[in-house]
Structure 1
Amino acid sequence: MEKEKLEFLQIHPKDNVLVALRDLPVGYSLKFQGKDIVLKRRVAAKHKFTIDALEKDDEIYMYGVLVGKVNEPLEMGELLDVNNLRHAADDFKLGNRKLEWTKPDVSAFQGRTFRGFHRSNGTVGTANYWLVIPLVFCENRNVLTLKSALEEKLGYQVESKDYSDEVDELITRYKGGASINDLLAVDFSAARANKESKRLFPNVDGVKFLNHDMGCGGTRMDSDALCGLLAGYITHPNVAGATVLSLGCQHAQASILKAEIAKRDPDFNKPLFVFEQQFEGTEQELMQKAIKSTFTGLMEANKQEREEAGLDKLCIGLECGGSDGFSGISANPALGFLSDMMVTMGGSVILSEFPELCGVEQELSDRCIDEATAEKFIHLMRTYNAKAEADGSGFYMNPSPGNIRDGLITDAIKSAGAAKKGGTSPVAAVIDYPELANGPGLNLLCTPGNDVESTTAEVAAGANIVLFTTGLGTPTGNPIAPVIKIASNSKVYNKMNDAIDLNCGTVIDGEETIEEAAHKILEYVISVASGDRIAKAVQLGQDDFIPWRRGVSL
């Protein structure tokens, strides 16, 4: 039976605005709750309009929470925009525990497994990578030299299109006397097929070479946090072993890194090779030792094979970037339903991006499993926002121009929709950056809203797969964990389907329910986690990695 395609939506019964699900013209007339509403202006899809007439400073509610106040009197059917609406959110405090929730039906996935790499500490990887990382930015060049020496020879180079053929075509036409208009009209539709790499080590998914600009020169807190982050990657279930290059004199000492590794995995037994340039001597001696050790480490890593594992061994990072006005009513709620499914089955999920939880603090703190956990969440939120305010950029500054253009006018509107990724289950743990957060249940991880910084942190915290929703289109990934991107609307999916894996615009289009979309996503997750399907970000070699400096980043 065909599902009804709506033209507007009230997200929560408490809301006093409606969301346009398609472009609605000026003068558009509708009936809602016995009221005849006529639009005073054109309302583009994803944007909101008022149900009642409002006075100056009246409150606006969406998702059942306060998201703003109006700057001037508004008539019924008036479009909300950056001029007539400002950010506002309810205050929050330690409240009563609200731990009752309705577990979803997971019978369709009971007994299901994925094929992953079992580690000695009981975790299971969805991939099998070797890491080459610098402890300090001084070693970035040597890491890139190792990449140049190893990547192509071992069959791990991503054969991405370099567009040199297009430049050759333009040069030939220019030399032939083509005009500017002629060159602008050139059709580059003939694409070259990617060459298939032949891997020397078929059970190793890749060697990943990370670079960063930290390790020295900043605060000791930043260098310590970097060591914790890198330890999270080295001990990660998707990593078989690592080669670490150190200069020797920097703040981020190898001893700190090893202590952070032991903190996360006391019985750590993966191959780990640490080389200090100031100890080894010449660059040639350093590089030759690193190459030999890395090669022998890969030989060991290649002995590991995929084996069956229960879905409770999945730790899923929940992320959003380039969000739009549909994110909170399609893709994010679908992830929320999936999150509740994973918790029901004993798995782990991580919700991060604390600046994008502004306005829903009370609900999340009330859902914390005990008062100590709630107090930790409240403390982290208040401390982070206070630091942002002190630097002249509070959480209210979080929405980007693209967010605002596509309907997320205030931070509270953006946050209320972003929080939907976390579903309705109790909060099992609140984790500060860059700690481990892969215990069963819903984990809240303190990170910025910055997409790459947050994804980088979620993976360090234990996420062995990341689900990333986007409404505007975001080409990003991670070096060691598959990042599955999910569109909130069909337009962006069709436009950028080279970088986006799945479409939840089907919910907006009336073709799928939230539950059906969640089931579709989980089926895709299982196939990616088993190595049967490759996420678009992995295909494109999107290995984005940015450690968070513990200053302000929204």
Structure 2
Amino acid sequence: MVNEISKQYIQLHPRDNVLAALTDLPEGTRVRHKGREFDLYARTKAKHKFSMDELGVDDQIIMYGTLVGKSTKPIAQGEPLTTENVVHASSEYKVGEKNLTWNVPDASNWKNATFNGYHRANGKVGTANHWLVIPLVFCENRNVDVLKTALLKSLGYHTETDFVVDTDTLVRKLEQGATNDELWSTDIIRTPEELKRNRTFPNVDGIKFLNHDGGCGGVRQDSETLCNLLAGYITHPNTAGATVLSLGCQNAQIKILEEAIQKRDPEFSKPLHILEQQQSKSERHFIADAVKKTFLGLIEANKIERKPAALSHLAVGLECGGSDGFSGISANPALGYASDLLVALGATTVLAEFPELNGVEQELINRCDSEKNAEKFAKLMRAYSERAVAVGSGFENNPSPGNIKDGLITDAMKSAGAAKKGGTSPVTDVLEYTEPITKKGLNLLCTPGNDVESTTGLAGSGCTLICFTTGLGTPTGNPVAQVVKISSNNTLSDRMKDLIDFNAGTIITGEDTIQSKGEELLEYIIEVASGTAIPAAVRLGQEDFIPWKRGISL
């Protein structure tokens, strides 16, 4: 990528025949770039692109050095690219080529760095310590909600952003005969620090409730996939133990879940309490037993404390959502550089969202460290694409209205920028949905482009922390893996301070480089992994969980 950024526009690769506007450019703006001079044909908004050449019908649009579209009508030099004159187009790909030359970044500053994590019996290290309450079927969602009401407040867990209003103190004082003046002078605001001190189990970061609409109906594969996903959450390094509620007659049988857990972790030893409602005396007994077993499990979970661990134990998911025309210029490449640093340090990073890798398949195939991985990736991409086409919704339909409005007018253009999250390191493994991480380095995980379905899958495969770039803003979070929101632009960071954790927009305005911002992001990742920095999604209690039913989802 070209690192030099003009204050007005940028060419992202020497092969590109378009420039990206970094600020609003009025019609007639004089463009001077690499010996070319021309006037802007029409007003071009920041994040959008305009042509460096005169193009005819069906000419290629090249951006990030790759094919991202074709012209549908003549395009003048300096004319903005829109959905009216450009359509999606992407390059063909094949297995056989390799390019494993990698310029490993200098990670010596972090050679001996550690994070404070939760060490598990199987050698993995978590960045958080959660207890899970899981329904095996949607019929148990209500009972899960009852447990949530019974446990959270009583045990001192709250999800408000900066404070909690402690009304209970007023009630107690009123019962004790306090006067109106005494009630008025009572402090009822509790800070996060105070709330944590008041938890019954201070070493348990949270109790997470994974409501879903699966487990029965559909096809048998849906239930098997769900059990594999839930097994990924139960065996997750951030999970201390779990309470599972089963109805009894559903497709997602307890045995399937137990087999999935055993397959992932043959020496599984975490506290796991599975209760079946159809075998209980009554609903009251069922709920009471679930609360008591959970309480006893929390006692064990609370015995675990954070201890130093090498950065090689980190498993970081690479995600984007609400992307804009700056995402592939600032936030994504900065995250990609942080990913390369982590890989150089022996850690694991995971790039997902296969519909948003359309057009960059050949680059990723060339980076696979084995022909087996290359073939698996190509097979998964082709199968996904064919299923999408079969239902009349090919990858070209992936960009959302928000993406298009902010400059991502084709799926290949969106994908070329999205792939920058994966940096430049070799691909060491390719994973099917729910398949667990087993290899260090950069992994590719088959998930939809849908934000929550993808983050749900990343955590299910074992990512202990997820970095989520965005240009438009989103509150997305995950129940077990902390989600770090990275802004692509300063405007978003300023406007949505309650949601954004890290701003990469200073790359656009020239105060930082991709390298410097990537290094800064790595430092923040270490803080989050250690529990010393709490991302907004965690503070807000944003715990989104949507299993993918393996239908077409872009």
What is the TM-score with the length of structure 2 in the denominator? 0.93
Give the C-alpha shift of residue 98 in structure 1. 1.2
- Any residues of structure 2 matched to 1:425-436 within 5 Å, and which? 425-436=425-436
Instruction: Give the equivalent residue in structure 2 for 1:529.
Output: 529
Report 1:149-188 matches (<5 A).
149-159=150-160
Aligned to 1:409: 409
Whether 1:365 and 2:365 are equivalent positions in the alignment is yes
Offset of residue 520 of structure 1 = 1.0
Relative distance call for 1:40 and 1:504 in structure 2 (3 A) is same
Match in the other structure for 2:31? 30
Q: Residue 291 of structure 1 aligns to a residue in which SS? A: helix
Shift of 1:281: 3.1
Aligned to 1:443: 443
In 2: Cα distance, 1:436 partner to 1:6 partner? 44
RMSD: 1.6
Q: Are the aligned partners of 1:484 and 1:537 in contact in 2 as well (CA < 8 Å)?
A: yes
Residue aligned with 1:25, SS: coil
Amino acid at match of 2:77: M
What's the CA shift for 1:161? 8.9
Q: Residue 380 of structure 1 aligns with which residue?
A: 380
**352-361 or 27-36: which moved more?**
27-36
- Which amino acid is the alignment partner of residue 134 of structure 1? P
User: Shift of the alpha carbon at 1:194?
Assistant: 5.7
Q: CA deviation at 1:95?
A: 2.4
In the alignment, which residue of structure 2 is the partner of 1:61? 62
The answer to whether the aligner puts 1:137 opposite 2:138 as a matched pair is yes
Q: Which amino acid aligns with 1:237?
A: P
**CA distance in structure 1 between the partners assigned to 2:405 and 2:438 by the alignment:** 35
Whether the 8 Å CA contact 1:437–1:445 is kept in 2: the answer is: no
Identical residues among aligned pairs (%): 59
- State the partner residue of 1:88: 89
Match of 1:170 in 2: none
Task: Give the letter for the 1:432 counterpart.
Answer: E
Q: Distance in 2 between matches of 1:104 and 1:451?
A: 29
8 Å contact kept, 1:438–1:463: no
Distance 1:201 1:450 in 2: 35
Q: Within 2, Cα distance between the matches of 1:531 and 1:36?
A: 52
**TM-fit CA distance, 1:158:** 1.6
Residue correspondence of structure 1 range 484-495 to structure 2 within 5 A: 484-495=484-495
Shift of 1:157: 2.4
Gaps of 5+ in 1: 165-191
Is the 2:163–2:190 Cα contact (8 Å) retained in structure 1?
Answer: no
- Structure 2 partner of 1:126: 127
Q: 1:269 aligns to what SS in structure 2? A: coil
Q: Do the aligned partners of 2:428 and 2:442 also contact (CA within 8 Å) in 1?
A: yes
How does 1:470-509 map onto structure 2 within 5 Å?
470-509=470-509
Distance 1:367 1:159 in 2: 43
**Cα pair distance change 1:163/1:388, threshold 3 Å:** farther
Q: Equivalences for 1:152-551 in 2 at 5 Å?
A: 152-159=153-160, 196-197=194-195, 198-551=198-551
Aligned partners of 1:77 and 1:281: how far apart in 2?
Answer: 75
Aligned-partner SS, 2:152: helix
- The answer on whether the counterparts of 1:9 and 1:19 sit within 8 Å (CA) in structure 2 is yes
Structure 2 residue runs of 5 or longer lacking an equivalent are: 166-188
Q: Aligned with 1:385: secondary structure?
A: helix
Return the alpha-carbon distance in structure 1 between the equivalents of residues 22 and 190 of structure 2: 39
Q: 1:330: how far off?
A: 0.3
The corresponding residue for 2:169 is none
SS of the residue 2:336 aligns to: helix
Q: What code does the residue aligned with 1:508 have?
A: I
Give the aligned residue type for 2:363: E
SS of the equivalent of 1:30 reads strand
Question: Structure 1: how far apart are the matches of 2:199 and 2:218?
Answer: 39
CA deviation string 1:505-543 (max 9, x = no partner): 010010001111011111111111111111111001000
Deviation at 1:32, TM superposition (A): 1.5
Distance in 2 (alpha carbons) for counterparts of 1:158 and 1:321: 23
Aligned partner letter, 2:510: G
Letter in 2 for 1:355: P
Which amino acid in the other structure matches residue 294 of structure 1? T
TM-score normalised according to structure 1 size: 0.93
User: Are the aligned partners of 2:447 and 2:457 in contact in 1 as well (CA < 8 Å)?
Assistant: yes
TM-superposed CA distance for 1:160, in Å, is 5.3
What's 2:173 paired with?
none
Q: Distance in 1 between matches of 2:219 and 2:270?
A: 30
User: How far is the alpha carbon of 1:35 from its aligned partner?
Assistant: 1.5
Count of residues in correspondence between the two structures: 526
How far, CA to CA, are the matches of 2:249 and 2:522 in structure 1? 46
Cα distance in structure 2, aligned partners of 1:219 and 1:10: 49
How far apart, CA to CA, are the structure 2 residues paired with 1:538 and 1:203?
A: 16
Deviation at 1:344, TM superposition (A): 0.7
Cα deviation, 1:109-144, whole Å, max 9, x if unaligned, reads: 110000000001110000000000000000000000
SS at match of 2:131: strand
Q: Is the 8 A contact 1:224 1:256 kept in 2?
A: yes
Deviation, structure 1 residue 226: 0.3
Q: Which runs of 4+ in 1 moved over 6 A?
A: 161-164
Please identify, of 193-202 and 458-467, the stretch whose mean Cα deviation from structure 2 is larger.
193-202
Structure 1, residues 133-176: CA drift from partner, whole Å, max 9, x if none? 00000000000000000110001122359999xxxxxxxxxxxx
Check 1:517–1:160 CA distance in 2 against 1; reply closer, same or farther (3 A cut).
Answer: closer
Name the CA distance, whole Å, in 1 between partners of 2:162 and 2:348: 37
Question: What's the secondary structure of 1:466's corresponding residue?
Answer: strand
For residues 160 and 18 of structure 1, the distance between their equivalents in structure 2, rounded to whole angstroms, comes to 40
Could you give the per-residue CA deviations for residues 411-457 of structure 1, whole angstroms, max 9, x where no partner exists? Answer: 00000000000011111000001110252000000000000000010
CA distance in 2, matches of 1:473, 1:16: 29
Q: 1:163 to 1:243 in 2, by over 3 A?
A: closer
Q: Secondary structure at the match of 1:152?
A: coil
Tell me how far apart the structure 2 counterparts of residues 292 and 4 of structure 1 sit (CA, whole Å).
59
Secondary structure at 2:153's aligned position in 1? Answer: helix
SS at match of 1:458: helix
CA contact (8 A) 1:356 1:414 kept: yes
